[in-house]
Amino acid sequence: MGEKRFKTYLKDRFGIVLPKDVCFEGGKTQRVMNSELKEFRTPTPKGIRASRMKGVFPKPTTNFIQLFGNLATKNTIEVSREDALNYFRSNDLETIIPAELGYVILTHNGAVLGIGFYRDGKIENMLPKGRRIRVA
């Protein structure tokens, strides 16, 4: 999947239009970086992982969505603080807010939490294991 296809997916699914100086590199796994870094000659990985293919659809990474999810205009779900904590404990969530089948962006009070998979009122938790927190 190339940069163009991923940008189209972000726009179609979430209404995200990225700033012009945000660029990508990679194949099945896309990395996001600024345009100056893209031009920088180095053999080392640039920027951060932005997406990987899951089935036929690209799955944006939690880190990418936490950075750019605030640009989304659709398929975002605002959750309570309790559900935000539940999300970071890696639990699935339930919602009465309607959404399209597929990936949704979860937010709480202006902060982007990450991504989940919405189906029939349930949000499957997509948080990487390494990002879980222990909250009393």
21 interacts with another protein by CB under 8 A: yes
Give every CB contact of residue 47 below 8 A, 6+ residues apart in sequence.
25, 31, 32, 33, 34, 37
Give CA–CA dist 40/44, Å, rounded: 10
Q: Which residues partner with 77 through β-bridges?
A: 106
63 interacts with another protein by CB under 8 A: yes
Stretch that binds another protein, among 3-11, 39-47, 71-79, 92-100 (CB under 8 A): 39-47
Which of 1, 10, 16, 33 binds another protein (CB under 8 A)? It is 33
17 interacts with another protein by CB under 8 A: no
Bridge-based pairing state of the strands 93-94 and 122-125: antiparallel
Which of 53, 71, 88, 117 binds another protein (CB under 8 A)? It is 88
Give every CB contact of residue 16 below 8 A, 6+ residues apart in sequence.
10, 68, 69, 71, 72, 73
**Residues lying near another protein in the complex (CB under 8 A):** 21-22, 32-34, 36-37, 40-42, 44-49, 61, 63, 66-67, 81, 84-85, 88, 108-113, 130-131, 133-136
